[in-house]
Chains A and B, each alone.
Chain A
Amino acid sequence: MSPAAEPARATASAEDRFEYVLRLGDTSLIAAQRLGALLGHGPALEEDLAIGNIALDLLGQARLLLALAGRIEGRGRDEDALAFLRDAGQFRNMALAEQPDGDFAETIVRQCLLDAWQLETYESLAGSRDRELADIAEKAVKECRYHWRFSAGWLVRLGDGTTESHTRVRAALEKLWRFTDELLSADALDARMAVSGIGPAPALIRERWETRVSAALAEAKLERPAQRHYPWHGKRGVHTEHLGHLLAEMQFLPRAYPGVSW
């Protein structure tokens, strides 16, 4: 199709683009903080390194995305200002990312559900009309492919493992499943971003996520929990109590010692 024949698209406002990029960047940042806090607590040296590697990948994505958000906003806030000088209500991460670790099964289930969403989202965003966002997505998708491989591998290992591991991973799945609705249900902003050709079509992400996760659950011999609507909307700034605690730890240093570096 020639460019002239392409249907006219709505242009997204800077406010919309800022909010949308924050959703992606904050989700990576909060997930990175969760995994980074596990360093030294992995069940084996090799797993500790794997989780640390994934945390660093996510942090790298967060830096690129928050720096981009700062440029779109145009008010002089850089990635550090956005990461360290906002309060919980201004964060736009998916509530799933901020859920605490509990046992290893909870960490794995949280990452698995989130990895599948990030992987499908970035795969689509690699074709975004926003070139800067597309470049970031193209880099992130390679990382996310490995993250999914790691977490889905463990999901199967735990689900199809011993009675104990199966019981724990099933409990984690029951506990965290309610947060998946937020990943897949588009709100008005998601819809506007799709229309403007920047964001992916929400229905497509849902379909691909369902296919990917269902296959992993079947291999792990786990039943898919019933879908539940949930009052948390992290991407609109309505978070669970856990985010405040996470931020208190993450933001302490730059708030207590402004401009500190080492």
Chain B
Amino acid sequence: MNEDWMLYEVFIRSRSGLEHKHVGSLHAADARMALEHARDTYTRRQEGVSIWVVRSSEILASDPADAEALFEPARDKVYRHPTFYAIPEEVKNL
């Protein structure tokens, strides 16, 4: 692998109306090549109708060391889940 090639993250929308989902990453020399590589690598079996690629270095990720501060405060707040409401019988798709 050429070390000049950059890492890109690939997002595919599987059907119209659905959201783009992260499917993996790949190497490419530029954005156009990344899009073509994504098409060739991740949509060969009709997996998608739309592709996003983004330079991996452009993604800001949370630090695992911050996990306690970021995520633990939510743990004892079960009332944020909508599980305390009685759902009427006639409502089918909630």
> Which residues of chain A have a CB within 8 Å of any CB of chain B?
43-47, 49-50, 53, 146, 149-150, 153, 157
Contact status B37-A50, CB under 8 Å? yes
Q: Which residues from B are CB-within-8-Å of A46?
A: 26-28, 37, 40-41
Q: Tell me how far the C-beta of B67 lies from the nearest C-beta in chain A, rounded to whole angstroms.
A: 33
Q: Which residues from A are CB-within-8-Å of B36?
A: 50, 149-150, 153
Contact status B1-A49, CB under 8 Å? no
Contact status A153-B44, CB under 8 Å? no
Q: Which residues from A are CB-within-8-Å of B40?
A: 46, 49-50, 53
> Which B40-84 residues have C-beta < 8 A from chain A?
40-41, 44
Q: Tell me how far the C-beta of B83 lies from the nearest C-beta in chain A, rounded to whole angstroms.
A: 45
Contact status B2-A44, CB under 8 Å? yes
Number of chain B residues close to chain A: CB under 8 A: 16
Q: Closest 3 interchain pairs by CB?
A: A46-B37, A50-B40, A49-B40
Q: Known: A44-B5, A46-B27. Is A153-B41 also a contact (CB below 8 A)? A: no
Q: Tell me how far the C-beta of A100 lies from the nearest C-beta in chain B, rounded to whole angstroms.
A: 24
Name the prevailing secondary structure of the A interface residues.
helix
B32 within 8 A of A: yes
Considering the chains assembled together, what is the distance between the CA atoms of A47 and B33 in angstroms?
10
Q: Tell me how far the C-beta of B31 lies from the nearest C-beta in chain A, rounded to whole angstroms.
A: 11
Considering the chains assembled together, what is the distance between the CA atoms of A45 and B44 in angstroms?
14
What are 7 A-B contacts defined by CB distance under 8 Å? A50-B40, A53-B40, A149-B36, A153-B32, A153-B33, A157-B30, A157-B33
Q: Which residue of A lies closest to B39 (CB)?
A: A146
Q: Which residues from A are CB-within-8-Å of B5?
A: 44
Report B1-20 CB contacts with A as 1/0, cut-off 8 Å: 11001000000000000000
Q: Which residues from B are CB-within-8-Å of A153?
A: 32-33, 36
Q: Which residue of B lies closest to A56 (CB)?
A: B44
Given contacts A44-B5, A50-B40, 14 further A-B pairs with CB under 8 A are A44-B1, A44-B2, A44-B27, A45-B41, A46-B26, A46-B28, A46-B40, A49-B41, A49-B44, A50-B36, A50-B37, A53-B40, A146-B39, A157-B33
Q: Which residue of A lies closest to B29 (CB)?
A: A157
* B2, B37, B40 — most chain A CB neighbours (10 Å): B40
Q: Tell me how far the C-beta of B50 lies from the nearest C-beta in chain A, rounded to whole angstroms.
A: 16
Considering the chains assembled together, what is the distance between the CA atoms of A43 and B1 in angstroms?
8
Q: Which residues from A are CB-within-8-Å of B29?
A: 157
Considering the chains assembled together, what is the distance between the CA atoms of A49 and B39 in angstroms?
10
Q: Which residues from B are CB-within-8-Å of A44?
A: 1-2, 5, 27
Q: Tell me how far the C-beta of B28 lies from the nearest C-beta in chain A, rounded to whole angstroms.
A: 7
Considering the chains assembled together, what is the distance between the CA atoms of A47 and B37 in angstroms?
7
Considering the chains assembled together, what is the distance between the CA atoms of A53 and B41 in angstroms?
9
Considering the chains assembled together, what is the distance between the CA atoms of A180 and B74 in angstroms?
68
Considering the chains assembled together, what is the distance between the CA atoms of A49 and B28 in angstroms?
13
Q: Pick from A43, A47, A53, A150: contact of B44, CB below 8 A.
A: A53
Q: Which residues from B are CB-within-8-Å of A47?
A: 37
Considering the chains assembled together, what is the distance between the CA atoms of A45 and B32 in angstroms?
17
Considering the chains assembled together, what is the distance between the CA atoms of A179 and B54 in angstroms?
40
Considering the chains assembled together, what is the distance between the CA atoms of A53 and B37 in angstroms?
11
